[in-house]
């Protein structure tokens, strides 16, 4: 909650496609952490060259398995940078905070005239969390010719105030 980044473990193994294995008991590691109302847990699956293949972000409550600890999360700010890339929009999102997770932020495209969400849309990720000092890149499919102009991008989250900007 206070933004302290702690590496719990790293496991280097070969995994076959569609395989599932137990590698370690996470609960014991989490119980060894200082008492708090909960923690954010980020899991990453990396290739040998350390490129991220998959990333998952979780809130794990410690107070009777409720989520009230999230109510104490301080406000975060995300900076966005967009560019056209191979027929899609590449959206780079950065959390420049030193200690605040930008939690469960929703990315959506909006009609620029009526400021309503555009459907259907395809994103490489639509709800993201960004650890302090980190960056995430997502890709948005867009067709300005059929969308009444270039859409707006809206970003809002659990502790991120909505920000709407043109592409």
Determine the pLDDT at residue 3.
62
pTM flag (> 0.85): no
- The domain covering 79-166 belongs, at the CATH homologous superfamily level, to Immunoglobulins (2.60.40.10)
Determine the pLDDT at residue 161.
94
3-state secondary structure 55-78: EEEEEEECCCCCCHHHHHCCCECC
Determine the pLDDT at residue 101.
92
Q: State the Cα–Cα distance between residues 50 and 63, nearest whole angstrom.
A: 35
Mean pLDDT by runs of 10 across the 167 residues of the chain is 73 82 79 78 88 88 78 90 86 92 93 87 91 93 75 92 88
**CA distances (Å), 52 to each of 11, 45, 46, 133, in order?**
14, 6, 5, 17
Q: Who contacts 126 (Cβ-Cβ below 8 Å, separation ≥6)?
A: 106, 107, 108, 138
Determine the pLDDT at residue 21.
79
The domain limits of the chain are 1-72, 79-166
Determine the pLDDT at residue 147.
67
Determine the pLDDT at residue 156.
95
């Amino acid at each position: 909650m206070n933004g302290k980044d702690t590496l719990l473990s790293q496991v280097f193994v070969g995994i076959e496609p569609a395989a599932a294995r137990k590698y370690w008991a996470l609960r014991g590691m989490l119980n060894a952490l200082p008492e708090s109302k909960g923690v954010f847990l980020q899991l990453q699956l990396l290739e040998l060259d350390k490129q991220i293949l998959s990333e998952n972000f979780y809130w794990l409550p410690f107070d009777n398995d409720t989520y009230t600890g999230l109510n104490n999360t301080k406000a975060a700010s995300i900076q966005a940078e967009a560019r056209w890339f191979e027929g899609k929009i590449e959206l780079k999102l950065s959390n420049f905070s030193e200690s605040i997770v930008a939690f469960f932020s929703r990315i959506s495209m909006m009609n620029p005239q009526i400021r309503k969400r555009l459907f259907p849309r395809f994103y490489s990720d639509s709800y993201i969390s960004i650890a302090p000092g980190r960056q995430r890149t997502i890709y948005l499919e867009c067709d300005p010719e059929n969308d009444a102009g270039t859409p707006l991008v809206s970003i809002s989250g659990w502790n991120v105030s909505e920000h709407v900007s043109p592409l």
